[in-house]
Amino acid sequence: MEEALTPKRFLNKILAGTATGIIVGLIPNAVLSVILGAFGDNSFAVTWTQATELFQIATPAVIGFLIGLQFNLNPMRMSVVGVAALIGSGSIQFNDEAGAFIGAGTGDIINTMITAAIAVGLILLIGDKFGSVEIIGTPIVVGTGASLIGLYLYPYITAISAAIGTAINTFTTLQPVLMSILISCSFALLIISPISTIAIGLAIQLDGVAAGAAAMGVGATTIVLVVNSWRINKSGITIAIALGAMKMMMPNLFRKPVILVPCFFTAIVAALPVAFLGITGTPASAGFGLVGLVGPFAAIDGGQAPLMALICWIVIPAAAAIVSQYACEKVLNLYKRQEVFEFLG
């Protein structure tokens, strides 16, 4: 007998579908962008790069489809949820000057989730009431209806995301060490939340040491997740996290918030070199961390020596992650890795 769909189970299904969808949608561009970029203006490499970027823009549709799968919807209903999520995400927007729709990254993940949740809710509410005309009624009522609500919500949801970013940016008015720690910890949290660190970094134009601290926080969490995922999850999951799919651990964050303890510890340790050595970044690199080595390369472009970048971005966070893993699990007995870091998607 199937369990009752409680609000908690509904949310967990939304989070699980989102986590898996992010892996599928973001990994190709995260992995191939650096490799293909080495080929310069080669036409084949440029075309392939464009394909990965378009694939990334379609991430909200993938998320919506996989959310539908979590609710065991049939293919037609899943497709409706996927398209509604794509529209509500804002990843494709109409540009008045160009007079055409233009891709705008992956859109707002929170609004993607909300729109998909609305679409699923409408489908569950309507059930089989459309009867033989479901193939007409569902796309019109649910598809465009949820999309419309998503479009109206989009400015408000993105404003909330921007407000969070502004709050983080105020940390830059503090003294460098504390500022670096606060920003690093903030982005360490955001990277496994529904909020886009890339969007936040660009929205508030983090720059200099602030951007370096943000990228370091993202990188620190990546390393923590890799260290703790090793031997707990399938190798493909660990590799996906290492390549940039940290948000696949969102369900773990919501179910086991204690996951933040090693993330924050590592982010604090990793932030210290940022403050003392003046490690910098750009608005574009702030939300990437180690993905595509964007953070380290931005730091090197800002004047950091390659060897020192290796030590600061890999060696120090890895050491801190290993220490935090041992302390949390063996010394403080806060959790067992299997319970906290096992992939829940």
- Residues 190-226 pLDDT 10s: 999 887 787 677 667 688 888 999 999 999 999 999 9
Asked if 201 and 154 sit in the same domain, the reply is no
- Each residue's pLDDT tens digit, 244-284: 888 888 888 988 899 999 999 999 999 999 999 999 988 87
Q: By the 8 A CB rule, do 267 and 277 touch?
A: no
Rounded Cα–Cα distance for residues 50 and 68 (Å): 28
Confidence bin at 43 (pLDDT 50/70/90): very high
Residue 12 lies inside a defined structural domain of this protein: yes
Please tell me the total count of domains within the chain. Answer: 2
Rounded Cα–Cα distance for residues 124 and 297 (Å): 48
> pLDDT at position 173, please?
66
Asked if 234 and 303 sit in the same domain, the reply is yes
Whole-prediction pTM value? Answer: 0.72
Residue 17 lies inside a defined structural domain of this protein: yes
Residue 1 lies inside a defined structural domain of this protein: no
Which residue, of 138, 162, 186, is where some domain finishes?
162
Q: By the 8 A CB rule, do 19 and 63 touch?
A: no
Residue 168 lies inside a defined structural domain of this protein: no
Asked if 138 and 190 sit in the same domain, the reply is no
Rounded Cα–Cα distance for residues 16 and 79 (Å): 17
Closest to 209 (Cα-Cα) out of 280, 289, 288: 280
Domain span at residue 305?
A: 174-340
> pLDDT at position 318, please?
96
Burial class (CB in 10 A: 0-12, 13-18, 19+), 89: buried
Asked if 189 and 128 sit in the same domain, the reply is no
Residue 27 lies inside a defined structural domain of this protein: yes
The DSSP call for residue 238 is H
pLDDT higher than threshold 80 for residue 172:
no
Asked if 183 and 276 sit in the same domain, the reply is yes
Asked if 157 and 188 sit in the same domain, the reply is no
Asked if 91 and 216 sit in the same domain, the reply is no
Asked if 118 and 207 sit in the same domain, the reply is no
Residue 345 lies inside a defined structural domain of this protein: no
> pLDDT at position 227, please?
93
Mean pLDDT (the chain) is 89
Rounded Cα–Cα distance for residues 183 and 234 (Å): 31
Residue 265 lies inside a defined structural domain of this protein: yes
Asked if 60 and 202 sit in the same domain, the reply is no
In the numeric block, the tokens 């990437």 are attached to 288
- Lowest average pLDDT, out of 147-156, 167-176, 187-196, goes to 167-176
Residues 37-46: b if buried by 16+ CB within 10 A, e if exposed:
eeeeeeeebe
